[in-house]
Amino acid sequence: MHNLLPLVSIVIPFYNQNEIFLQECLLSALLQTYPNIEVIASDNHSNNGCDRVALELASYYAQLCIVRPKSHLSMCAHFSFAIAQSSGDYITLLCSDDIFDLDHVSRLVNPLTMHEDISMACSLPFQGFQPNSARPKSNITSGIYSSYDFAHLALISHVCSLGATIFRKDRFLAVGGLSAEYYYAFDVDLLFKLMFSGYVYFDSSPTAFIRLWDRADQRNRQKKHIIDIIHIFDALLARKFPLNMYAALEIRLLNLLIIPLLKLVF
């Protein structure tokens, strides 16, 4: 019977990930309550042995497919490659150090199947999760939002992350997919492109849990994020938003928004 449900692809690109993090990530995808899924785990030529975790799980779970590009790719190119291997009408991206609630797909795919004008469905991302910690809840009401209304909320309230989103694959292709001009913040760019391609469904309770931890290249990543996000904001202000919507947002406020937003991107 589950074959009557639309196929949802959970796409997990990984490279030299912590083995425990990767195992937790993959299991959170494989154990989804929504029955018709495929899990695409793409190994960007890891050399620390973490690929063994994925290969072992693939021997137990038929819905897990391990893929690998011909050579090591940039982060954006690798995400694009991994998405291209998917077969589902709907896609959700999961970073290899994060996890999904087991009902992530079932909670977010239903609005997409019921309303063709919704381009993406997202939940409040839970940042810096710890076992048994209290879950946050947004004061923004769950429901369907217009592109401009939700984009405004996403900028000022930090309620959106690509890692807590399911989107239509045809809409992803229609907006041009991921933009290679951004080194790290290609996910933020895609979020806004998807927002402006249709309505957005928002679930005020988290279904995705974003792990915050110290990386060896953290400072370098943050610098490149800031450069990317400034360019994205400039493009939004120049082309996307009515000027009166941002009459109250001065440049100094935009600068303050950059750091919190960094915590929501891959």
Task: State the average pLDDT over residues 241-261.
Answer: 40
pLDDT band at 265 (very low <50, low <70, confident <90, very high): very low
Structure tokens at 234: 């400039």
Looking at residue 183, its pLDDT comes to 73
Structure tokens at 53: 């975790």
| Cα distances (Å, whole numbers) of residue 233 to 55, 75, 201, 224, 247 | 40, 21, 22, 14, 15
pLDDT band at 219 (very low <50, low <70, confident <90, very high): low
DSSP tag of 102:
T
Task: State the average pLDDT over residues 33-41.
Answer: 97
Helices 51-58, 19-30: inter-axial angle, 10-degree rounding: 30
Minimum mean pLDDT range among 21-25, 114-118, 192-196? 192-196
Write out pLDDT tens, residues 157-182.
566 677 889 999 999 999 999 988 77
Nearest Cα to Cα of residue 40 among 60, 13, 7, 11: 11
Considering 21-25, 191-195, 262-266, the range whose residues carry the highest mean pLDDT is 21-25
Whole-prediction pTM: 0.82
> Taking the CA of residue 225 as centre, how many other CA atoms within 13 Å lie in the half-sphere pointing to its CB?
19
SS3 state at 48? coil
Structure tokens at 212: 């915050």
Looking at residue 29, its pLDDT comes to 97
pLDDT band at 55 (very low <50, low <70, confident <90, very high): very high
Structure tokens at 208: 């995705």
Write out pLDDT tens, residues 70-128.
999 999 999 999 999 999 999 999 999 899 999 999 999 999 999 999 999 998 877 66
Looking at residue 173, its pLDDT comes to 95
Looking at residue 172, its pLDDT comes to 95
Contact assessment for residue 184 and residue 225, using Cβ atoms and an 8 Å cutoff: yes
Nearest Cα to Cα of residue 69 among 29, 15, 21: 15
pLDDT band at 193 (very low <50, low <70, confident <90, very high): confident
Nearest Cα to Cα of residue 36 among 77, 89, 75: 89
Looking at residue 91, its pLDDT comes to 97
Task: State the average pLDDT over residues 181-191.
Answer: 80
Q: Quote the mean pLDDT of the chain.
A: 80
Between these two residues, 77 and 223, which has the higher pLDDT value? 77
Q: In the block, which residue shows the tokens 């005020």?
A: 204
pLDDT band at 23 (very low <50, low <70, confident <90, very high): very high
